[in-house]
Amino acid sequence: MKAGLPAGIGVGIAIGVALGLALDNLALGIALGVAIGAGSGVAMMGSGAAKEKDKKKGDGGDGGGTYTGSSSKGSKSDDPDGSGDGDGGGDGGGGGGD
């Protein structure tokens, strides 16, 4: 759906007008309707773009894959037993005075 934003704002304004009339505050209802409608319209545009991207890819899958590997570069140890040589942390800090 390419008209996600206008459709979302239109539905949001309609709901906002109904809410504003019910609460006797039409200005607040319209403002909330525009804000909620714009948010839902942007969401509809985003989901429509994702669907079109999947169609262009041609795979029709969920886009998920299995990743196996490690993201920690340089985690190998130079020691033959595989242990690290870290210093163990900082000093203990100082005590408070009176």
Domain boundaries, the chain: 4-56
Q: What is the pLDDT of residue 82?
A: 59
Separation between Cα atoms, residue 44 and residue 51, nearest integer Å? 11
Question: Is the separation of the CB atoms in 7 and 44 below 8 Å?
Answer: yes
- 3 has a pLDDT exceeding 80: no
**Residues 45-56: pLDDT tens digits?**
887 777 777 777
Q: What is the pLDDT of residue 81?
A: 61
Burial class of 38 by CB neighbour count within 10 A (0 to 12, 13 to 18, 19+): middle
- 85 has a pLDDT exceeding 70: no
Tokens coding 40: 């839902």
- 75 has a pLDDT exceeding 60: no
Q: What is the pLDDT of residue 86?
A: 57
Task: Report pTM.
Answer: 0.48
